[in-house]
A and B are shown apart, each in its own frame.
Chain A
């Protein structure tokens, strides 16, 4: 089936299998930040933004995104907030194997973009409920996110 979407700020037309998930469709066009993990909506390594909302690309049908905006980490590399999150993760030692990092970055980015005051530790942990990390753990990523949230709060 043919679907039209805005992928990373560019209008695109994709030819996808009717039963394909969004994860497959994105990797087929070279978005390799979107990782294949559990393929059951548990691990979050395929987290992308669908109209700004974080979703697991493995349990979203490719056909579902017809007419919608999909953003992967590739589309946010020049975004100042994303760059700040990336730097904070590296500086705090939150990245070991890195497999979960793109998904975590997307989840944190989506949370930081929400309206209202920047998230506290509880809210950051809540935002990361869909991202499993099996080597670094969660203390360092949460510290990194708190660091960024603190600076966001200082700016507002």
Chain B
């Protein structure tokens, strides 16, 4: 960030938005900063929110889990609250971002605000119905994470501050599984997938499927989800899951780059979605399919 003119430190969220608004020139919020040091700052000043009281995880009496935007990934990984939420899948995925020292400083909010199509935690947060809290000097707003992303490196923020996330209590016992496919453990992912199923009295009451790195922004696969919602678990067959995975992959719109071809990404989106659905169903005691069997629509 050699072109940076000023580094401001905020001690509260309100101060952070005021410091950003104050100018002069273009400012950006900085939390972990691990990504900002990889290139030019592309701004005149930054506002550090690490000391603004936005780091931490707590469970409310209603069973919701609140995660501050400036919570380091390592803290998410080790959090008891997240370890107990929806099978601990978010905590597990947080432990797979970057490497150990990067996780000490990189934050969950930073991961989302960078808004890379490959944001590691986006798919699992999407299937857990995460809600974002956003503020500026005049207003506060909460919105579903799915509406937070606009495009590659673009969010709805436009100078507003992401203060945190809430994982709703309704998702606390969701059968949730996520995976990322990478060339090496530390690399940016080629494809990510996450699924979440709520099952009550043998019926799928909620179905969530999300993909990462296969579209301009992290993607909810609504068409595929609709195939599952309302079904009796007992009626779900291997062929049906294969079809659902195919539909999900069809909702993606990947690009070719030096990491993988679009064709490969789309095919992996299908394979991973099917496997994760198998795992989620296995959690419910259903043996709809054999995870390793790539039959059906393959």
B6 at the interface (CB under 8 A from A): yes
Report the separation of the CA atoms of residues A87 and B167 in the bound assembly, to the nearest whole angstrom. 47
Q: With a CB–CB cut-off of 8 A, which chain B residues contact A54?
A: 100-101, 104
Q: With a CB–CB cut-off of 8 A, which chain B residues contact A129?
A: 99-100, 185-186
Residue interface mask B1-44, A partner, CB < 8 A = 1: 11111110100000000000000000000101110111001000
* Minimum Cβ distance to chain A for residue B89 (Å): 19
Q: With a CB–CB cut-off of 8 A, which chain B residues contact A59?
A: 32-34, 37-38, 102, 105
Which of B4, B74, B101 is close to A44, meaning CB atoms less than 8 Å apart?
B101
Tell whether A19 pairs with B101 under 8 Å between CB atoms, given A56-B34, A66-B9: no
**Of residues 38 to 65 in B, which have CB atoms within 8 Å of A's CB atoms?**
38, 41, 45-46, 48, 50-51
Most buried by B among A17, A44, A63, A130: A63
Contact check, A56 vs B2: say whether CB atoms are below 8 A apart: no
Most buried by A among B3, B36, B37: B37
Q: Closest A-chain residue to B41, C-beta based?
A: A19
Contact check, A56 vs B102: say whether CB atoms are below 8 A apart: yes
Report the separation of the CA atoms of residues A34 and B2 in the bound assembly, to the nearest whole angstrom. 20
Which of A19, A44, A50 is close to B105, meaning CB atoms less than 8 Å apart?
A50
A61 at the interface (CB under 8 A from B): yes
Residue interface mask A134-146, B partner, CB < 8 A = 1: 0000000000000
Report the separation of the CA atoms of residues A127 and B100 in the bound assembly, to the nearest whole angstrom. 6
* Minimum Cβ distance to chain B for residue A32 (Å): 19
Q: With a CB–CB cut-off of 8 A, which chain B residues contact A71?
A: none
Contact check, A130 vs B45: say whether CB atoms are below 8 A apart: no
* Minimum Cβ distance to chain A for residue B205 (Å): 37
Q: Closest A-chain residue to B9, C-beta based?
A: A66
Tell whether A1 pairs with B7 under 8 Å between CB atoms, given A59-B33, A64-B33, A64-B48: yes
Q: Closest A-chain residue to B35, C-beta based?
A: A59
A30 at the interface (CB under 8 A from B): no
**Of residues 77 to 112 in A, which have CB atoms within 8 Å of B's CB atoms?**
107
Report the separation of the CA atoms of residues A129 and B102 in the bound assembly, to the nearest whole angstrom. 10
Contact check, B33 vs A61: say whether CB atoms are below 8 A apart: yes
Residue interface mask A107-121, B partner, CB < 8 A = 1: 100000000000000
Contact check, B33 vs A19: say whether CB atoms are below 8 A apart: no
A60 at the interface (CB under 8 A from B): yes
A156 at the interface (CB under 8 A from B): no
Q: With a CB–CB cut-off of 8 A, which chain B residues contact A154?
A: none
Tell whether A67 pairs with B51 under 8 Å between CB atoms, given A59-B37, A61-B33: yes
Report the separation of the CA atoms of residues A54 and B106 in the bound assembly, to the nearest whole angstrom. 12
* Minimum Cβ distance to chain A for residue B77 (Å): 11
Contact check, A19 vs B99: say whether CB atoms are below 8 A apart: no
Which of B30, B38, B72, B98 is close to A61, meaning CB atoms less than 8 Å apart?
B30
Which of A18, A44, A60, A66 is close to B99, meaning CB atoms less than 8 Å apart?
A44
Q: Closest A-chain residue to B3, C-beta based?
A: A19
Mark B residues whose CB is within 8 Å of A: 1-7, 9, 30, 32-34, 36-38, 41, 45-46, 48, 50-51, 72, 74, 98-102, 104-105, 185-186
**Can you report 7 residue pairs joining A to B where beta carbons are below 8 Å apart?**
A17-B2, A19-B7, A41-B98, A54-B100, A54-B101, A56-B34, A61-B37
Known pairs A58-B37, A66-B9 / 10 extra A-B pairs, C-beta < 8 Å: A18-B7, A40-B38, A41-B98, A54-B100, A59-B102, A60-B33, A61-B33, A63-B48, A64-B33, A67-B51
